Structure 1
Amino acid sequence: MKTAVVIGVLLAVLMVSQSYAEIGFYRSTPPIDEASMMIGGDLVFGSFGVLGHFRYGIAKRADLGFKTGFINQSDDTLLDFGADFKYAAMSVKEDYWPIDVSIAGVFDFKHLGEDSSRNNVSGNFFFFGAGAQAGRSFPISGSQSTISPYGALLLGIYHSDVSVRSYPGWDFSGGEGSKFGGLLAFGSEIRFNSKFSSIFELDITFADGSDTSASLGLNYFF
Structure 2
Amino acid sequence: MNSEEFYYCPRCSHQLELRSWEGRLRKICPACQWIGYENPLPCAAALVLNASGEILLVRRGVEPARGEWALPSGFMEIDETPEQCCLRELEEETGLKGKVIRLVGVYAQSSARYKKVLIVGYEVEARGKPSPGSDSQAVAFFPPEKMPPIAFSSHRHLIEDFLISKNRRFQNKGQSRKEGQKAVSQAGEKQAGKTRWKDRREEGRKGERKNE
Q: Normalising by the residue count of structure 2, what TM-score does the alignment of the two structures yield?
A: 0.26
Q: Which structure: greater strand fraction?
A: 1
Which of 1 and 2 has greater Rg? 2
Q: Which structure: greater helix fraction?
A: 2
Higher RCO (CA 8 Å, separation ≥ 6 residues): 1
